[in-house]
Amino acid sequence: MNVEILAFGIAKDIVKGASFQLDLPAEATVGVLKQQLCSTYPDFERLASFAIAVNEAYRQDDFALNEKDEIVIIPPVSGG
């Protein structure tokens, strides 16, 4: 399946844009997405950490993705 991913903070610099498309296997999980991101953009490995939000909430690696989900890369936050 083809998903659209939003990027913020340093993730925007890594993928060179605020959003991009990614091809994932059908029934991919957040964990699969993270692996794919790291192999496509090795700079993600150099981050202190990064999380994935789906439909406006943090999701664990075993969370299953759907084509219409709002998927967001959340690099280390630094608000406050």
Nearest to another protein of 16, 79 (CB atom): 79
Least distance (Å) between residue 8 CB and another protein: 5
The pair of three-digit structure tokens given for residue 41, joined into one six-digit string: 């953009």
**Contacts of 5 by beta carbon, 8 Å cutoff, 6+ apart:** 15, 19, 20, 21, 22, 71, 72, 73
> CB under 8 A: which stretch of 21-29, 30-38, 67-75 binds another protein?
67-75
> CB under 8 A: which stretch of 4-12, 23-31, 34-42, 61-69 binds another protein?
4-12
Please select the residue that binds another protein; options are 2, 16, 48, 62, rule is CB under 8 A.
48
- 3 state DSSP class of 14: helix
